[in-house]
Amino acid sequence: MSVLNGKNILLGVTGGIAAYKAAFLVRLLVKKGANVRVVMTESAKEFVTPLTLSTLSKNEVFSSFTEENDSTSFKEPKWNNHVALALWADLFLIAPATANTLSKMSTGNCDNLLLACYLSAKCPVYYAPAMDLDMYKHPTTEQDFKKLDSFGNIQIPAAFGELASGLVGQGRMAEPEEIVSFLERDLLKSLPLRGKKFLITAGPTYEAIDPVRFIGNHSSGKMGYAIAEVAAKLGAEVTLVSGPVNLKLENDSIKILSVTSAEEMYNAVHLHFNNCDVGILSAAVADYRPAEIASQKIKKKDNEDDLSLQLTKTKDILASLGKIKKNQFLVGFALETQNEEENAKLKLKKKNLDLIVLNSLRDKGAGFKTDTNKITLISKDNKVIPFPVKSKKEVAKDILEYIIDQIHA
């Protein structure tokens, strides 16, 4: 899955011949999973129509501060809020960026909607220059490049090739495929977990009684899957060991290992733990399993009201990793119903963890099968950090932000 997946991209299109490539660029960005909105200058409409870009982006295209109603309407003109557009964007890409627009960007000139969005943007701004050779080499253009780069804007270099005038040289806008690749490479470089290997467990384990029945719990796996998705989005290489769940991953870069029992999860985790940087064990692993598994379905007997099962302890996966960990950052989960903080701190110390995530079944919005969770982080030095009820994806971000601070400290 591309790092652009789920990103809000505001594409600025200015009035140069290369504007026709904006249609291909929008299509590629959408295929990568990005949400694309287009803002264009009036002169850009001479090269590509708003209808084309609107159809490809599946969003309204903006080109002026107001949209006049037809002559029969008495409604006020609609205002296109440049601040809202700029704040919506995760990144602002201006392609093509003509010499005229670049000059205005460098001096703060603001005479159209695109430039108003640029001056309001708080996200990274990328620009792909497109102009003829002499314009590209002109000293004022070089000064604009230096100025824009000093502002923190990121230039996607123009290519060498045949230009609209017939000249051959620098100034040709990078091809849409090259622009998308540039964005992906640049975004990957800035991801805080790039190069880190994460091992995550999720879901329940099922311990067989016979070929039909099992001992299990109510874990849905939603918390572990959310952590895996967010970690991958932040650049981590993720291996997810999952018990039986009815969930699908959005990010196809995540390596998933499906297991059923606690023994299978133990073996899978130990196979990968030595090669990971961070282990997050959020799975609800069964503490006990049947001492013997019946080879045939256990039949109900009319003359017996009770069925006795002898249970034996499963291997403690988290404790076993705490004993062998070297430089790994190890995170466990504690789901408690009483003396929550005290029990979590005991587990943290006993199992040699770096962090424990505490849930309480007494908290509304926390626990199994919900889309929300309420957690408290407890660090190795017993620092307690409580959080309010949030979506599990937001909870995953909180957990990972803490981990990022620790491993980069």
The reply to whether 302 falls in a domain is no
Residues 346 and 213 in one domain: yes
Q: Report how far residue 331's alpha carbon sits from residue 282's, in angstroms, rounded to the nearest whole number.
A: 8
81 is a domain residue = yes
Radius of gyration of the chain (CA): 28
Residue 124 lies in a domain: yes
Q: Residue 68 pLDDT > 60, yes or no?
A: no
Q: Which CATH number characterizes residue 16's domain?
A: 3.40.50.1950
Question: 279: domain CATH number?
Answer: 3.40.50.10300
Residues 38, 171: one domain? yes
Domain annotation covers residue 304:
no
Residue 270 lies in a domain: yes
Q: How many helices (H) and strands (E) does the chain have?
A: 13, 24
- Does residue 242 share a domain with residue 158? no
Whole-angstrom Cα distance, residue 332 to residue 299? 39
Preceding peptide of 192 cis, ω within 30°: no
Tell whether 182 and 265 lie within a shared domain: no
What's the whole-model pTM score?
0.73
* Overall size of the chain counted in residues: 409
Whole-angstrom distance, CA of residue 225 vs CA of residue 248? 9
| pLDDT digits 0-9 by tens, 73-123 | 455 666 677 888 999 999 999 999 999 999 999 999 999 999 999 999 999
Residue 72 pLDDT more than 70? no
Whether residue 128 sits in one domain with residue 215:
no
> Average pLDDT in the 166-178 region?
86
Question: What is the rounded CA–CA span in Å between residue 39 and residue 121?
Answer: 13
- The catalytic residue positions are 217
203 and 131 assigned to the same domain: no
CA–CA separation, 30 and 32 (whole Å):
5
**pLDDT class for 402, splitting at 50, 70, 90?**
very high
Give the chain's domain count.
2
Q: Which of 190, 225, 254 is the last residue of a domain?
A: 190
Q: Please indicate, yes or no, if residue 306 is contained in any of the structural domains.
A: no
Contact of 45 with 157, CB cutoff 8 Å = no
Whether 177 and 202 share a structural domain? no
Residue 79: what pLDDT? 66
Q: Summarize pLDDT for 290-336 with one digit per residue, the tens.
A: 999 999 999 888 777 888 899 999 999 999 999 999 999 999 999 88
Q: Which of 159, 190, 221 corresponds to the end of one domain?
A: 190
- In this structure, the answer to whether residues 182 and 317 fall within a common structural domain is no
In a domain, 3, yes or no: no
- Tell whether 132 and 149 lie within a shared domain: yes
Q: How far apart are CA 283 and CA 217, in angstroms?
A: 11
Residue 182 and residue 210 share a domain: no
Residue 77: inside a domain, yes or no?
yes
Q: Which amino acid is at 399?
A: I
Cβ contact 250:1 at 8 Å: yes
In the prediction, which pLDDT does 178 show? 96
Residue-range definition of the domain harbouring residue 267: 197-290+312-407
Whether residue 71 has pLDDT greater than 70: no
Of 171, 190, 209, which residue sits at a domain end? 190
With contact defined as beta carbons under 8 Å apart, do 129 and 100 qualify?
Answer: no
Q: Hey, how many other C-beta atoms are within 10 angstroms of the C-beta on 246?
A: 7
Co-location of 65 and 211 in the same domain: no
- Both 136 and 230 in a single domain? no
Could you tell me what percentage of the chain is helix, strand and coil, using 3-state DSSP and rounding each to the nearest 5? 35, 25, 40
